[in-house]
Amino acid sequence: MLRYDNYFIPKTLKEYFELTTKVKDCRIVAGCTDILPWAREGRGGEVFLKNVVDVSRIKELNVFNFGTKKILLGAATNYQKLFLDKKIRKSLKVLPQVSVWFADDQIRELATLGGNIVNASPAGDGMPALLTLNTNVTIAKFKNKKIIKEKMPLEKFVRGRNKVALKNNDILVNFEVENTDGYGACFEKVGHRRSLVISTVCVSSLVKLNNNKFQDIRVAVGGVCEVPTRLSKTEKFLKGKSIDENNIYAASMLDLDVIKSRSRREYRKEVLQNFIIRSILKSLGKNNVEETIQRFDNKVKSQMESTYV
């Protein structure tokens, strides 16, 4: 059960910092879709927060600026907007795909991208996709009576399981992502059930082609390591290579050691490898994904037989 004494709704960063320098013991909330279940399920015990500060209506956290190279998304942008917005569908194709897998309509209306990243769950779905968009985050802090903004790569902001680079009343303001119009994209996840699923493994990928070669390829995974991560060996191997099933298969084996989960490692490795292959093929717009994976499986089987039988 979550109880609180005061609920504040600042409208600007200035108001937020005026409030949080005056009033002690403030706790930020945005959509409350992480905080409420945590309190309600008793994981946090009997939760009492003296002062709750709802940041979802702060102007600077709701920016939505589209440039040809960079796009700014406020930290309070919710997943339903990422799902439905036409500009996002064109220039940031991977984000609506994350939203398809994310909870349901009601939760998506509330759940913010900022809350998802600050929560920093290894199974959070937002981070792998943002990693493939080469994201920088901007945080704001209050020093010597001034608002100071600091920009850093997402990889530097998320420091570990449930750990981010925020102190005291610092606040996450926005995400600067790359406009990836012209890229193929894919996000998929697997978990223990079909709907409202928590990722056991999720993969995000983006590809750009030139003359039937990988001009750019970005792949990131979540769910299997403390912090979602880019698959640098896979990317390096494929960049500049031709769109060839054998190249994709060879690449899919290179980063399986990112799996840090101690349980069911072999299962996770197999799922991850298949997911990497699927994700790249789907980003390329291939329809025969299952067939190709079956072909790869048979190939491995016959290689094993010729080696060991």
Q: Which residues bind ligand FAD (CB under 6 A)?
A: 27-35, 37, 55, 61, 75, 102-103, 107, 110-112, 114-116, 118-119, 124-126, 166, 171-172, 196
Q: Which tokens hold the place of 52? A: 């709750």
Residue 301 beta carbon to ligand FAD: minimum distance, rounded to whole angstroms: 34
| Cβ neighbours for 14, distance < 8 A, ≥ 6 positions apart | 147
Residue 162 beta carbon to ligand FAD: minimum distance, rounded to whole angstroms: 9
Neighbours of 218 (CB within 10 A): 25
> Given the complex with ligand FAD, which of 139 and 185 has the nearer CB atom?
139
> Given the complex with ligand FAD, which of 90 and 191 has the nearer CB atom?
191
> Given the complex with ligand FAD, which of 50 and 295 has the nearer CB atom?
50
Q: Which tokens hold the place of 67? A: 């440039």
Residue 33 beta carbon to ligand FAD: minimum distance, rounded to whole angstroms: 3
Percent of the chain as helix, strand, coil, to the nearest 5: 40, 30, 35
> Given the complex with ligand FAD, which of 82 and 217 has the nearer CB atom?
82
> Given the complex with ligand FAD, which of 128 and 184 has the nearer CB atom?
128
Taking CB atoms within 8 Å and a gap of at least 24, the contacts of 299-303 are: 299/249
**Number of DSSP helices (H) and strands (E) in the chain, helices first:** 13, 14
Residue type, 249: Y
Residue sitting closest to ligand FAD (CB): 115
CA distance 4 to 8: 11
Residue 110 beta carbon to ligand FAD: minimum distance, rounded to whole angstroms: 6
Residue 56 beta carbon to ligand FAD: minimum distance, rounded to whole angstroms: 7
Helix (H, G, I), strand (E, B) or coil at 288: coil
> Given the complex with ligand FAD, which of 78 and 279 has the nearer CB atom?
78
Residue 124 beta carbon to ligand FAD: minimum distance, rounded to whole angstroms: 4
